[in-house]
Chain A
Amino acid sequence: MFDARTATRAATVFTALWLATPAPAQIDPVEIIDKVDRLLRGESSRALATMEVVTGNWERTLTMEAWSLGTDYFLVRLLRPKKEAGTATLKSENNIWNYLPKVDRTIKIPASMMGGSWMGSHFTNDDLVKQSRLAEDYDIDLSFDGRDASDVRVWDFKLTPKPDAAVVWGHVEYRVRQNDLMPVWAKFYDEAGSLARSMEFGGFREFDGRLLPSVIHMRPADEPDEHTTIRYEELDFDIDITERFFSLRNLKKHR
């Protein structure tokens, strides 16, 4: 998700294993990014969120409930709009299925459509599938250590894909607040070095005792007027859930 995967990862801000270690004198970029990464993901989680999608042609807001287990399992079900309630997406390892309640059918998304939009948003199916750890796919270097425009101490990191990593981005820039390790933004650049999309984090608040961004704002660089915003309303961590929950059968369950 941090290539395509950062987006997903951020989108699945579910569990945070928050290690509140005091900042060492000598900072380790890999360790910091790994912590942020784990913060935005989790062992298991349940979330209630709204997703607002604005394009040049239409705007819509979806309400959804989502569950995750590790990086391999993810289930999201639409609650609103009513017409589409029950529409659900299941990610199990590298596969994605969509359940369509209107026709009561489950369809597997073919590999050729992985780059396609997920539920009309600016996230792709790939964003859901590729949820590996940033530290595994990227070489991470500290590029800035100082204060941002609002006088908050931040670190900027530059993430360059490792030679054998299957990522779609040329490089990624990532800003993290120093005092609480909250992500501020991530910018994704294509192979040619042009900005492809940017993701901003905000609405920092405590969920289940952990400080997390509750708003993720995704903006494609080529369509400045378009964006997808995810707002988390509820977020629970380390819930009682097993792999059996992420079954095609459960995908179909109407709510």
Chain B
Amino acid sequence: MAATTSWIRVGWRNIGRNPRRTALTSGGLAVGYFAVVFMTGWTGGINEELIENATSLVGGQIEIHDGEYLPDRSLYDTIGGRDGVDVDALLAAVDSDPGVAASAPRVFAGGLVSSGESTSAVVLLGVDVARETRVSRFLKRLKDGRTPVQGASEFVLGAETARQLAVETGDEVVLVAPGADGSLANGLYTLAGVFETGLTELDNGLAVMPITDLQEFIVLPENRIHEIAVAALKPAEADATATRLEAMLVEFATGIDAAPWTELHPAVVDYVGLSESVHWIILAIVFTIAVFGVANTMLLATFERRREFAVMLALGAPPLAIAGAVVTEALAIGVVSLAAGALFTYPLMIWWHIAPPDLSWLYGSTTLAGVLITPSLRIAYDVSTWFSATAVLLLTTVLAALYPALRAAMISPADTLSGL
């Protein structure tokens, strides 16, 4: 046992023989380690934002509808059918689920917004402002003005539609919509504010007003709503929560459908799955390159010392111990690299996680699978990748040392010492 320890010590000490070479090799490995942790952290950050924006910009992590509502979104397919439901009781029941953080009722209608010569077709969305801001983000920070007040004939509009209509906060416009009774609903409304999400579908073509105001406008009874948007405490558990909600809501009305975001945004699920598999590809590429770098270093180091190994073998050192010393030396380089890598990788990750650098100088807002992605270097803590990157780094150094170690162990003492 003592003998084994001393061979390990020999290996460890050997990294100090040529400090410059050790530093260069470790530096390369440390940068490789950083690259893996950073790339997976960044794509993880994009995935997090993707899921967040898909599920909390406007949509919820879970959406509750009448089973017939999607995909046609008929005005008449309200939750509970034509009879409607007790909306307050339904919301209270949804809120009581342990997986639910908040819920908000919604009514949708198609309509026109007209000001002067300009008219735009919009989706009219009726919301309970207080509840809505706990579920979605688009009304939280308005570009201009404030959220609409119930009963005051007020509404808010997406920035792009407002620009096209050339209207500003405080302007009076005409809203027109087909009423649920077949009449042509129309009225004068004041623009209370303008929201901007960065997502064209919302900024161009969405007008929002208090839910009871919209119901009154389109002659839809107050107990008839189209959607309940739900914020789940944990997005990852949305599927289970949706299943629970659907089972629970049977007592309110038949045919209620609770869909988790994984069902509403299958493209996002696919994208996240794809980018997670890319993590492994990045890991493999970076460390494959590292294997050759370390192998090169170790081959040089062992070649330089072939006479030393020959003497040791001639004096009776077991070949396996020589090989062990070489592998230990490589492993020692790995440990040093890891320490160096961790020294700058983790502080950077923590910094960027807390304060994501703005990358708008590099690229603008973009959409992935129909979901908004902002230009910021947002880092997700992907602890499992940290561990796997550490393990793969150490494994890399061992793998890279195997061939040099074998060469060292197989040195023929007599030939080498005689200078052949």
Contact = CB atoms under 8 A, between A and B. Distances in A.
Contact of B119 (A58, A110, A117, A119): A110
B186 interface: yes
Contacts of A255: none
B183 A84 contact: yes
Contacts of A119: 184
Interface in B192-206: none
Interface in A49-81: 53, 55-60
A209 to B, nearest CB: 36
A105 interface: yes
B275 interface: no
A120 B121 contact: no
Contact of B121 (A53, A56, A84, A112): A112
A120 B183 contact: yes
A113 interface: yes
A23 interface: no
B121 A100 contact: no
A100 B182 contact: no
Given A57-B76, A102-B187, A112-B121, A107 B182 contact: no
A100 B178 contact: no
B112 interface: yes
Contacts of A60: 181-183
B180 A58 contact: yes
Nearest to A112: B121
Name, among B176, B184, B188, the residue most crowded by chain A CB atoms within 10 Å (CB to CB). B184
Given A100-B174, A103-B186, A103-B188, A57 B119 contact: no
Nearest to A104: B188
Contacts of A98: 176, 184
B223 interface: no
B117 A110 contact: no
A2 to B, nearest CB: 25
B119 A100 contact: no
Name, among B120, B121, B182, B183, the residue most crowded by chain A CB atoms within 10 Å (CB to CB). B182
Nearest to B186: A100
Name, among A57, A58, A105, A112, the residue most crowded by chain B CB atoms within 10 Å (CB to CB). A105
A97 to B, nearest CB: 10
A85 B174 CA distance: 18
B184 A87 contact: yes
Interface in B53-75: none
B112 A117 contact: no
A60 B183 CA distance: 8
B119 A120 contact: no
Given A100-B174, A112-B121, A117-B178, A107 B183 contact: no
A87 B174 CA distance: 14
B404 to A, nearest CB: 71
B83 to A, nearest CB: 14
Interface in B105-140: 112, 114, 117-121
A87 B184 CA distance: 9
Given A98-B176, A103-B174, A113 B181 contact: no
Given A58-B180, A84-B183, A113 B121 contact: yes
Interface residues of A, number: 24
B121 A110 contact: yes
Contact of B176 (A53, A59, A83, A107): A107
B180 A102 contact: no
Contacts of B120: 110
A58 B121 contact: no
Interface in B78-120: 112, 114, 117-120
B187 A58 contact: no
B182 A110 contact: no
A108 B112 CA distance: 10
Given A57-B76, A98-B176, A84 B184 contact: yes
A119 B176 CA distance: 11
A105 B174 contact: yes
A56 B186 CA distance: 23
Contacts of A113: 112, 119, 121
A58 B181 contact: yes
Given A98-B176, A105-B174, A108-B117, A55 B184 contact: no
Nearest to A120: B182
B226 to A, nearest CB: 14
Nearest to A103: B188
Nearest to A81: B183
A100 B176 CA distance: 9
A53 B182 contact: yes
B160 to A, nearest CB: 14
A109 interface: yes
Contacts of B187: 102-103
Nearest to A118: B184
B298 to A, nearest CB: 69
Contacts of A56: 76
A157 to B, nearest CB: 34
A41 to B, nearest CB: 26
Given A57-B76, A105-B114, A110-B120, 7 more contacts: A60-B182, A60-B183, A84-B183, A103-B186, A108-B119, A112-B121, A117-B178
List the 4 shortest-distance A-B pairs measured between CB atoms, nearest first. A107-B114, A58-B182, A100-B186, A120-B182
30 contacts: A53-B182, A56-B76, A57-B76, A58-B182, A60-B181, A60-B182, A60-B183, A83-B183, A84-B184, A98-B184, A100-B176, A100-B186, A102-B186, A102-B187, A103-B174, A103-B187, A103-B188, A105-B174, A105-B188, A107-B114, A107-B119, A107-B174, A108-B114, A108-B117, A110-B112, A110-B120, A110-B121, A113-B119, A113-B121, A120-B182
